[in-house]
């Protein structure tokens, strides 16, 4: 999974660096916004040296980014947080909050009524959310360091929730279909979760905790409808 996440991180760097009117500084904050459509809104708050890109095409989309190395304290140190948001369609909303440094987040939403919330606190966390369809909801929380989360949805009315609290935690969720729910809760060190769902009305729940490196690995692959899978791993 690390290889996949590394590839994703490279994609984030590319998406952010190729934003409209991109400029990079050794100090201060850098934000670039490009919009095509009607009634789109954006809000960007940056403290310190941050990079933010927002690209929206469609109507009634909303993007919100908050980046802060030390809450409420302006700094000029290089290489801090990076956020990229791309939304195509209408009534999509993405909110990204990054506190501390070297965190990467990329949100891509295509369709209507999708919502994505990413909250990163710590160092060198990576989050990627891709949602294609309508009325999907992704809620990603990362607290710690070197945590990786990838949430991909193709369909309608799906919900992904990922909570990572610790270090070197990996989560991948791939969802195809409708009305599926995936919940991942990881705490401790070195845990690995993989969920793939194809169908409708399925629910996947994974809980991993413990302090021993690489102690827990979970893989759930579901095809069909109305299935419920629960994995709990602790030490």
Q: Residue 128: what pLDDT?
A: 95
The residue among 67, 83, 81, 75 whose CA lies nearest residue 33 is: 83
Helix H, strand E, coil C: the string for 204-229 is: EEEEEECCCCCCCEEEEEEEEECCEE
Task: Read off the tokens for 58.
Answer: 């469609």
Give me the domain span that covers residue 93: 2-234
- From CA 165, how far away is CA 211, in angstroms rounded? 11
Q: Residue 212: what pLDDT?
A: 66
What is the number of domains present in the chain?
Answer: 1
Q: What is the value of pTM for the model shown?
A: 0.85
Tell me which of 9-23, 34-48, 202-216 is least confident: 9-23
Q: Residue 11: what pLDDT?
A: 56
- From CA 174, how far away is CA 129, in angstroms rounded? 10
């Amino acid at each position: 999974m690390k290889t996949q996440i590394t590839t994703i991180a490279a994609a984030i760097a590319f998406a952010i660096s190729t934003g409209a009117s991109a400029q990079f500084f050794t100090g201060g904050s850098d934000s670039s916004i490009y919009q095509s459509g009607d009634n789109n809104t954006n809000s960007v708050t940056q403290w310190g040296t941050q990079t933010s890109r927002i690209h929206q095409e469609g109507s009634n989309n909303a993007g919100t980014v908050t980046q802060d190395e030390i809450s409420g304290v302006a700094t000029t140190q290089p290489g801090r947080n990076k956020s990229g948001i791309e939304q195509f369609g209408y009534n999509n909303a993405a909110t990204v909050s990054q506190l501390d440094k070297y965190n990467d987040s990329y949100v891509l939403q295509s369709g209507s009524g999708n919502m994505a919330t990413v909250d990163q606190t710590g160092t060198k966390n990576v989050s990627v959310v891709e949602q294609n369809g309508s009325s999907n909801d992704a809620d990603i929380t990362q607290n710690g360091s070197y945590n990786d989360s990838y949430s991909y949805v193709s369909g309608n009315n799906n919900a992904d929730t990922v909570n990572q609290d610790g270090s070197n935690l990996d989560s991948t969720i791939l969802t195809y279909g409708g009305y599926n729910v995936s919940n991942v809760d990881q705490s401790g060190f070195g845990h690995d979760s993989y969920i793939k769902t194809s169908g409708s009305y399925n629910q996947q729940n994974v809980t991993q905790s413990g302090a021993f490196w690489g102690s827990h690995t979970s893989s759930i692959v579901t095809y069909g409808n109305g299935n419920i899978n629960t994995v709990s791993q602790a030490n």
